[in-house]
Amino acid sequence: MKIFETHAHYDDEAFSQDRDELLEGMLSPEGALDYIINVGASLEGCKKSLEFADRYERVYAAVGIHPEEVDSLTRQDIDWIVKQASDNKKIVAIGEIGLDYHYPEPEKEVQKNWFRQQLQAAREVKKPVIIHSREACADTLECMKRERADETGGVIHCYSYTKEAAEQFLDMGFFIGVGGVVTFKNARKLVETVEAVPLSRILLETDSPYMAPEPHRGTRNDSRNIAFVAEKIAQIKGVSAQEVIDTANENARKLFFGK
- Domain chopping of the chain, boundaries: 3-257
157 beta partners: 132
Can you name the CATH fold of 3-257? TIM Barrel (3.20.20)
Could you list the pLDDT tens digit for every one of the 259 residues in the chain?
A: 799 999 999 999 999 999 999 999 999 999 999 999 999 999 999 999 999 999 999 999 999 999 999 999 999 999 999 999 999 999 999 999 999 999 999 999 999 999 999 999 999 999 999 999 999 999 999 999 999 999 999 999 999 999 999 999 999 999 999 999 999 999 999 999 999 999 999 999 999 999 999 999 999 999 999 999 999 999 999 999 999 999 999 999 999 999 8
For residues 226 and 230, what is the distance between their CA atoms, to the nearest angstrom? 6
What is the DSSP code string of 185-250?
TT-HHHHHHHHHS-GGGEEE---BTS-PPTTSTTS---GGGHHHHHHHHHHHHTS-HHHHHHHHHH
Predicted TM-score (pTM) of the model is 0.97
Note the helical H segments in the chain.
19-26, 43-55, 75-87, 108-125, 137-146, 163-171, 188-196, 226-237, 241-252
